[in-house]
Structure 1
Amino acid sequence: MTTMLSGRTPAYPGDDGAAFGGVSAMFAMVQRSNHATAFAGWIVATGAMGLVVQARTLESASRAPYSGLLFAALVPVLAAGTLVVILLVRAARLTRAAQEEFYRFIAEIPGDAPELCAPAVLQLQRLTAATRHRETLTQRALIWAYVSGTALLAWSAIAVAMASGH
């Protein structure tokens, strides 16, 4: 028993099952990258809110003897957070463009065309490649979010210590 993707006839027997397997793998990649996107975004948003909450601490720390070093150390932390946002935006744009191209292609296929004609397989491969690239970008963003969050936590501890005079 084969899985039917639509009412169209497959170009070759069994190809519809292979296409279904490819689409299933693509959905798994999307799910993993969605989790990475959500967690990386949460880390960066929490860090940004933490800096807003620490406004008074930063004001007190600015009067400490080494406040220049403290604020200079904040630059790479903010750069890492910015890199996370850039990676996530790139990943979203890449996938959105590939999806739009795929949907345009599907809309233009005549109803009597074989389901897995060569151009359709090529479009599906392009969409899968874009999804794989998205997963790579979101995993990289998650790693940088961990780095950014950890660095911000350490920086915050130092800022609090400097503000309290320790």
Structure 2
Amino acid sequence: MHAYFRTRSDLVDIVLKEVDEHLTTITDACFLSGTSVYERLFRLALRFGQDARDRADLILVWLDWSTGVRSPVWDRYLFRLDKLHRSVEAVLHEDLGKTLSAQDISIRAKLYVGGGHTLALMQFAGATDEEITRTSEDLARQALLKGRSHR
């Protein structure tokens, strides 16, 4: 470690930056295309689930980062998570903006992003490609339900 990084903190900074850049890249790639809202949400969920298999090192860091509530890097995680939530909210707003409040769209975005953690955990637990695909489809479909949940 010391041959490449002066401190553990330097190593952590570089690794978290790589994870952040990867998540930004895949989100942009899935969301910037002109396909339907459902297709964009499905593709991002599927990509995240596949990355748990193909880029396990990065996704494991993301999962570890997401549980480090008392860690000195927690604020960076919350900032990254907020960026992801806002990206999903913007896409959801395209389809739901006339029928749901901003608060309801925000809740949907948070649930959808939380589903990405579930996909990663499923992949690490040995889920099949079909299970990852079907769960990705369900995440996208659930995020786009037109009605608001009842109290």
Select the structure of larger CA radius of gyration.
Answer: 1
Q: Same fold (TM over 0.5)?
A: no
Higher relative contact order (CA 8 A, sep 6+): 1
Q: TM-score, normalised by structure 2?
A: 0.29
Greater helix fraction, Structure 1 or Structure 2: 1
